[in-house]
Amino acid sequence: MSLSTPVSRRALRHTRAIDIQAFAREDGLWDLDAHITDIKVGDTLLASGLRQGGQPLHDLWLRITVDKQLTIVDAEAVSDAVPYAGFCNTIGPAYKAMIGLNLMKGFRHELKARLSGIAGCTHLTELAQILPTAAVQAFANDVWPTYDNATAVQPKEKPFQLDKCHALRTDGGAVARFYPRWVAQSASTTPVPQDP
């Protein structure tokens, strides 16, 4: 299924692309390499000068290294293209402030406390905010077993992904079908006793 057909003719003016790749390291840690670009189709006149169409306004990289508990043990930021060269691209070292944060424990709140506003780069900080869900996807079946009907070994604890999104709610149809052991019984799902 794709989006509906636009109701009016359109002309592409701007593309923001985000790419995140996760790497398992030989030392047992994981690297998440995040990349964001902003590219205008036409020439753009900035206070710092003309940026030709097709050339990135932003070409930014962020790498975090996490342990298997999703605690950040290292962070690095690099700005290859920025609107204000010599200014924007000096903020990279500030992203070491992410070290010690855990992606699953108040991460977005702590990230904003440390790197919002003039303490960081708006685009790098925004990019960092999506790292928790990317890490969860990377860890699923590699670090954390997902345990479904296709898994021979059944877990003693509820799989981590249940009750984390609309589709995998324990009182819903997907859990009843793919994780039947963990389906929650509610008034609407409990069978009504029949008269003998």
Residues 6+ apart with CB under 8 A from 45: 51
State CA 142 to chain mean position distance: 17
Whole-angstrom distance, CA of residue 51 vs CA of residue 37: 14
Backbone angles phi, psi at 123, to 5 degrees: -75, -40
Evaluated on CA atoms 110, 114, 116, 122, the torsion sign reads negative
Q: What is the pLDDT of residues 147-172, one digit of tens each?
A: 665 556 666 788 888 898 999 999 99
Q: What is the pLDDT of residues 78-136, one digit of tens each?
A: 999 999 999 999 999 999 999 999 999 999 999 999 999 999 999 999 999 999 999 99
Percent with pLDDT over 90 in the chain: 76
Cβ-based neighbours of 147, under 8 Å, separated by 6 or more: 153, 154, 155, 159, 179
The structure tokens listed for 168 are 């995998």
